[in-house]
Structures are given as structure tokens and as C-alpha cells.
Structure 1
Amino acid sequence: MANGGPVCGPISSYSRVRILHLLFEAGRSSGRSELTIAELCEATALHPNTVREHLQRLIEGGYVIPAVEHRTTRGRPRTLYRAATGAAGASSPVARDKAKAAARRGDLLRRMLPDAASGLDTDATYQLDALVEHLEESGFEPVVDTARLTVDLSPCPHAAGRLEDRPILCRVHLGLMQGVLAEAGGPLEATCVQASDAPADCVVQLQERVVHPQERTGDAHGMA
């Protein structure tokens, strides 16, 4: 973060990072992909009201999806929470709306500044619009290299933090970026944070996959 300002958004609180980490891990498991407030409280040792507050912020940002439990027995159904990854059943309407708005603002910028065009196809360009806005809202100043398909976030604002916290922080931040790209729809995926000997270096590697015609998402951007 070049300006040295505070980190904002979903990774501004390490408690929120821990909640997101648990939800991402649940989504990757072969069992349940959703967790309850009680389960999140047990795993984090946070008070239920604190967990609820964090979850509400994450839902409003489009990073977590709530769902009411379907019960076949008597009793009040619980609310279940899952990470918004953009996959089937894990797509957030808030995140989709944010991607559409980012695409519209990106198109306006490209009309005003033709040199800002990336050379990538429309879907990939809209994905980068969504990703850059997500990163800027989180307090970063991303530098995108469309030739190398990298996003440079150096210097990492977490480099001075506790060393033991960084692995989870990096995994969660990568998962958030993957979710933003998936929600926007298109060929780009975030694959990893490049390894570096310098703790302040943070460069995210993207890759372009082959998208089949039935996966094209022009309507999702509201641009079709």
C-alpha cells in the first residue's frame, strides 16, 4: 500500500479474517460448506454478538452469504453462513451488483481515457474492474500488469504484523480476490501470491483459463 494508509474492508480486523478463514475452509471441505454462529464462536472464542457484527459487515460487503437452515424436525431453524466464492450456490447478489457497477465505471473511464484499455477481452477487463475496486476499497493501491497478469500490492501493509498471522491473512486475502473474480465472471483466476524473500513484497499471480461459450457472463455485468 503505497500511501501507508490503514487497511480497510474485510481484512481490516483479524477477528474477521479468522471468521472468513473458517468459512473458506468449510467451503473447501467435503462435508458441510456452511457454519453456524455457535460453531464460529467455538472456533474463535469470540462472543456471539461480536461474531454477528462481523458477519453482518461481511454480508453487506458481499463476502458472506446467509441462509436459513432447512429442518425436517421440530425446532427453530438456524441461520447458516458460507463464504461467497462465486461458485454455484455460493454467489452473493451484493458482490454481483458491485461487479456490475465496477464494469460501468470502468467503461466510463475507458471512454474518457482510451489509453486505459487493457487489451484483454471484455469479460477479463470487467473482472479487473471489479478486482481493482475491491482492492482500493480495502485500502490498497494495486498496480496491474496485464501482460504478465500480475497485481502488485507492495509494500504489504501486514509485513510489520505478527509473523504467525500472515499465512492465514494471505490465504484469506487470496480467497477474497478469487471470489471477486468469480463473481464478476470471465477467464481470469487468482492462483497464488508469488513467493518472495522480502516480507513487504506482495504480488498476486493471475491466469487466464479457457471459458466455454455457456460460461460467458455478459448479462451478469449488465453490459450485454
Structure 2
Amino acid sequence: MANGRPAYGPISSYSRVQILHLVQSRAERSIQELHEATGLHANTIREHLQRLIEGGYVIATTEHRTTRGRPRTLYSAATGDPDASSPVAREKVSAAARRGDMLRRLLPTAASDLGQDATYQLDALVEHLEESGFEPVVDDAALTVDLTPCPHAAGRPEHRPVLCAVHLGLMQGVLTEAGGPLAADCVLAAERPEACTVRLRLAESAA
């Protein structure tokens, strides 16, 4: 917890962050692989994976075997790509767009100048970030998302690089699932631990 605000969602537990980092770095991980990499008990890993699946951040597939034996369940990050899309994530994106449209009917100026597709991407991204305990401030002119103060600032400094990498991957997955010209580019270097700004990138074809 930092500044009195807890972190929620998929990155509220560093054990879950470790699992996410592994499935983001390579798809189709088995429980045994995740156990060997993290040292966590297999049942603990299953519990974390179930939470991540329910949140739309991980997908499970059944191993295709050409030999005898029970096929394993394999786990991958939900990246939003056609082959790695979560039905939970798809529904979250659709619901965020519906709520965004309702807001824009009341406040037409709330739409992004980047166009409808980018507006829907930002709807989904903001809801994901708020669900995770952040208070995002989007600047669609500068293509930045200010997440200061970071709720993980009080955590262990050696955990920060993995936390940032995992969260950037989650943000990219949300933007890809929503579909549109925006992508999560990088976490900008900051002088203060509580400062966090993510730079977005506009696809060249839409620039």
C-alpha cells in the first residue's frame, strides 16, 4: 500500500505478479513449470491462476498430445490477439465502451480527439487501471497516462521492474482486446518512486 491506497486486481499479490510475468514471457506454461520457477505450492498456483482467469488476464488451454497420458492444462497470458483472447476480457471491453458512450451522451467533450476506436480503447484502459487501484489521468494529446501516485511505490524496490513489465503487458492486452490505433509503449523513467507515467503509441497508419 502507498499513500493510503491499496493495489487491487491482478497485481495485488507479488506471487500473482510472478505468475503473470512467466505467462507473459512465454505462452502455454504448465503448473509444474510455474511451481519450479516460483517455488509456490501447486495448489497456490492454481488459486492464483483461477483468479487471473476470472479477471480476464490468463487463458487456459488443453495440451494436444500424440502419446498416451492425460493432457495437461496449459496457461498463457490473455494478450487480446485472436489466438489469445479471453471472453471475460472481451465482455469487460464491451461494458467499458457502453459506459463510456453513456458518459459521452451527457458530456460530449469526453470523447478522445483520436477517434472512436481510440476512445473505446481508453474507456477499457481506464476501467482496467481503476480496477487495479490506480487513479489514471489520460492526456490523449501527449499520449501519456499518469498513474502517480503508484500504489506499489512502498513495495520492495527489487520487485519494481517486474511489476512495471507485468502491468505494461496487461495494459497492452487491454488495448489490443479493445482494438484500435493505440498501444502501450513504455513506462517512462521517474525521479520519484511514487511517480509513474506510461507512454502510449499511435499506430503509424493512424498517425
TM-score (norm 2): 0.96
How far apart are residue 10 of structure 1 and its match? Answer: 0.3
Q: Report what 2:24 is aligned to.
A: 24
**2:122 counterpart residue number:** 128
Alignment of 1:129-208 (within 5 A): 129-208=123-202
Q: Secondary structure at the match of 2:43?
A: helix
Partner of residue 70, structure 2: 76
Aligned residue number for residue 116 of structure 1: 110
1:7 aligns to what SS in structure 2?
coil
- Matched residue type, 1:124: A
Residue 18 of structure 1 aligns with an amino acid whose one-letter code is Q
Query: CA offset at residue 139 of structure 1?
Result: 1.0
* Aligned-pair CA distance for 1:89: 1.2
Aligned match of 1:47: 41
Question: 1:85-133 CA deviation, whole Å, 9 max, x = no partner?
Answer: 1123111111111101100100000001122122221110000000000
Q: Which amino acid is the alignment partner of residue 9 of structure 2? A: G
User: Which deviations, in whole Å up to 9, do the C-alpha atoms of 1:28-71 show, x marking residues without a partner?
Assistant: xxxxx210011101111111110000000000111000001111
**TM-score, scaled to structure 1:** 0.89
Contact kept in structure 2, 1:7 and 1:138, CA below 8 Å = yes
State the distance in 2 between where 1:210 and 1:126 align: 19
Give the conservation status (yes or no) of the 8 Å contact 2:2–2:154: no
Aligned-residue CA RMSD (Å): 1.5
Letter in 1 for 2:125: L
Q: Deviations over 1:13-39 (max 9, x none)?
A: 00000000001111xxxxxx2100111
Q: Give the whole-Å Cα distance in 1 for the aligned partners of 2:24 and 2:61.
A: 16
Unpaired segments ≥5 residues, structure 2: none
Distance 1:62 1:210 in 2: 28
Query: 1:75 and 1:177 mapped to 2: Cα distance?
Result: 37
1:62 aligns with 2:66: no
Contact in 2 for aligned 1:2/1:154 (Cα 8 Å):
no
Give the C-alpha shift of residue 3 in structure 1: 6.9
The runs of 5 or more residues in structure 1 that have no matched partner are: 27-32, 213-224
Report percent identity of matched pairs. 73
Which stretches of structure 1, 4 residues or longer, exceed 6 Å deviation after superposition?
A: none
